Amino acid sequence: MSDRRVVITGLGAVSPVGIGKDSFWDSLTNGKSGIDYITKFDTKDFDVKIGAEVKDFDPTLYMDKKESKRMDLFTQYAVAGTHLAFKDAKLSSDDLDSNRTGIIIGSGIGGISTFETEKEKLMTKGPNRVSPFFIPMMISNMAAGQVAISFNIKGPSMTITTACASGTHAIGEAFRMIKLGVIDAAVTGGTEAAISPMAVAGFTSMKALSTRNDEPRKASRPFDKDRDGFVIGEGAGILIIEELEHALKRNATIYAEIVGYGATTDAFHITQPDPNADGARVAMQLALLEANVPLDEVDYINAHGTSTYYNDKLETLAIKDLFKEHAKDINISSTKSMTGHLLGAAGGIEAIATALAIKESTIPPTINYEVKDEECDLNYTPNVKVNREIRYALSNSLGFGGHNASILLKSYK
């Protein structure tokens, strides 16, 4: 495998706790929750009434108004996140060889809101009233397609769909493509906009969501004994990653280096994780092996940490099984305690958080951690940020279907 080095040079966050890198990071480090009552639809008949919505999003700040109306919200978020990432990277399309630049973006669900809207038209007004833009708005690859059009990117363009691991898989695959010399730069991460009646009803029927409607900001409580499910979120986390020399030639700011990637499958159950946590453990192990990094040099893990019973318990088990005694010395946090769970976009937004943690030597907290769970007995950075120099950090994502992905970031010197 080639030894080309890959670095992160641009960050674009569209999140429930802020739009833009600075607003996003300020909220995370100050323990600010983005969870509140759902406003996108009437939840009167729903058992779950809370979610983590993106606030004050204006698509026309990032794209033509007419074009925005032909995009589902998940695509709008991806295009907006890419604009923010390009601006943060001090990069324009003219700075890139369009044929040597790729787009790999994850989305678990795609345009579900468009699907619901057009299905309602079909049922109430007939087939001739379904929009001609229905298909290109709904299909999950269109986020990558619209980003390519907006930024004139002509290299490999694709969508990764592995449920809640989509964003991390996308970053990992983009990293590999640059490392192997297929491309020199990539737009990567994840996007999702699934706070819709069907999605909320479906996740509620699975008993996956928190029903702590009386305390929205306290509903997401990863690793806490009183956790009762995840809180659905939305947004996009888009990163610009480049081959090191490509970045240095243009004097880019480097947030962190990507040095390892692990991907595994549980082959156990459609929703529940493997009770032995082998898949999650091996994904982390593979990322470390690729970089030849000793276990005791990992200082931080941005955990998948969904606030569901099985995920938090078994991710803890995976960390302990892999790191042994060093596990207790690692700072772990789940930023989902503030952002909610962005599903296919989670890996993108959490990679941004991990890169900033390394760059700023600051570990964001896991908020709402109040009651210790004897099965979750590691250092989850409870409630208050911690200042710590980070040599290596992992970002984990674990998806329905048994999909596991882990990326390893390194402080760039």
- Render each residue's pLDDT in the chain as its tens digit; 413 residues: 468 999 999 999 999 999 999 999 999 999 999 999 999 999 999 999 999 999 999 999 999 999 999 999 999 999 999 999 999 999 998 899 999 999 999 999 999 999 999 999 999 999 999 999 999 999 999 999 999 999 999 999 999 999 999 999 999 999 999 999 999 999 999 999 999 999 999 999 999 999 999 999 999 999 999 999 999 999 999 999 999 999 999 999 999 999 999 999 999 999 999 999 999 999 999 999 999 999 999 999 999 999 999 999 999 999 999 999 999 999 999 999 999 999 999 999 999 999 999 999 999 999 999 999 999 999 999 999 999 999 999 999 999 999 999 999 999 98
1 within domain boundaries: no
254 within domain boundaries: no
- Report the domain count for the chain: 2
Q: Which residues are catalytic?
A: 164
Q: What is the CA radius of gyration of the chain?
A: 20
Total-model pTM: 0.98
Same domain, 229 and 342: no
Which residues are paired to 321 by β-bridges?
Answer: none
167 within domain boundaries: yes
Same domain, 237 and 331: no
Q: Tokens 């690793």 identify what position?
A: 223
Same domain, 78 and 216: yes
CA 207 to chain centre: 22
- Give the CATH number for residue 157: 3.40.47.10
Same domain, 89 and 206: yes
377 within domain boundaries: yes
Same domain, 78 and 191: yes
- Domain boundary residue among 217, 249, 281? 249
Same domain, 398 and 289: yes
Residue span of the structural domain in which 195 resides: 6-249
- Angle at the Cα of 331 (from 326 to 335), degrees rounded to 5? 140
- Domain boundary residue among 223, 249, 275? 249
Same domain, 60 and 164: yes
- Domain boundary residue among 221, 249, 277? 249
Contact 293, 260 (CB under 8 A): yes
